Amino acid sequence: MFNISISPSETAIFSVLIIVWGLLLYGGFVFGKIDDKEKRRMPLSTRLASSFTLVVVGWLWFAFEQDTDIGQLALWLAIGMSFSFIGDVFMADILPLQPYVLYGIVAFGLGHIAYIIGLVHIGQTLDSSFPNYTVLIIWWLIGIGGWFFLVFWKGERSFLHYVALPYALLLASTVGIATNTALGHPAFIIIAVGAALFLLSDLILAAELFSNLHFKLIGDVIWLTYGTGQLLIVCGLILYTTLVAKT
């Protein structure tokens, strides 16, 4: 049986950090000023700060759990969140690196590889028949479909259009592996939902970048789904322990 434990002091620390994350992300949306293009209300500073807060949460979770049976998972989730934060910095286009989208894809891709390594490790511990390839294939088809209709189908095609395919498959693999672990233990349902939200956010972003999708506050929708997804991935077991396992 898979056991999760968290002390009252650790619960308090994580609660404060999650509240800080929420104030930064959702507070930035509520109190921010809409930009000239009507893409977002969230300031860049609160977006990046919310992402960095999850990096802190990830490494604290590893520090607290490194000697337990989820230590390896906590390590890889922390590494993955760190790469995702780097990807956020690239996608903010504040560094003298071009094309910034490619750098962002590489950073996010490395983050998802880390997520997958951690989830595969714990999944094999939970179930010797892991993974269920039917689940993976379903998510791969969703990823391919999203790439084809939102990225590849319309307009001229560049190198980035083709790079987006393996990236979409990588994100779909994270969701598929997370879904597999959730089938092995309900504690991972929250992580699976988080991975699905990340994929949804990225599909919306892809539609904006490659198919010129635009609607009011599209940037905030992308960040609200992405940020919430990242929270659920990195804090999934913490939230399960404090909100579900002890009720």
pLDDT band per the 50, 70, 90 thresholds, residue 246: low
Position of tokens 């998802």?
Answer: 112
Average pLDDT over residues 197-220: 91
Average pLDDT over residues 88-93: 95
pLDDT, residue 210, reads: 87
Average pLDDT over residues 188-192: 94
pLDDT, residue 56, reads: 98
CB under 8 Å, gap of 24 or more: what pairs does 60-64 form?
60/13, 60/14, 60/17, 61/14, 61/234, 61/235, 61/237, 61/238, 64/6, 64/10
User: For residue 93, with 0-12 CB atoms within 10 Å meaning exposed, 13-18 middle and 19 or more buried, which class applies?
Assistant: middle
Average pLDDT, the chain: 91
pLDDT at 2 over 60: no
What's the CA gap between 177 and 218, in Å, rounded?
Answer: 28
Total domains present in the chain: 1
Residue 163 falls within a domain, yes or no? yes
- Distant-in-sequence, close-in-space partners of 137: CB < 8 Å, separation ≥ 6: none
What's the CA gap between 114 and 49, in Å, rounded?
Answer: 22
- Distant-in-sequence, close-in-space partners of 1: CB < 8 Å, separation ≥ 6: none
pLDDT, residue 1, reads: 46
Residue 2 falls within a domain, yes or no? no
Specify the length of the chain in residues.
Answer: 247
User: For residue 24, with 0-12 CB atoms within 10 Å meaning exposed, 13-18 middle and 19 or more buried, which class applies?
Assistant: buried
pLDDT band per the 50, 70, 90 thresholds, residue 3: low
Instruction: Read off φ and ψ for residue 46, nearest 5 degrees.
Output: -75, -30
pLDDT for 129-146, tens place per residue? Answer: 778 899 999 999 999 999
Residue 3 falls within a domain, yes or no? no
**Residues spanned by the domain of 82:** 8-245
Q: Kindly report the pTM of this predicted structure.
A: 0.93
Residue 20 falls within a domain, yes or no? yes
pLDDT, residue 7, reads: 85
Residue 99 falls within a domain, yes or no? yes
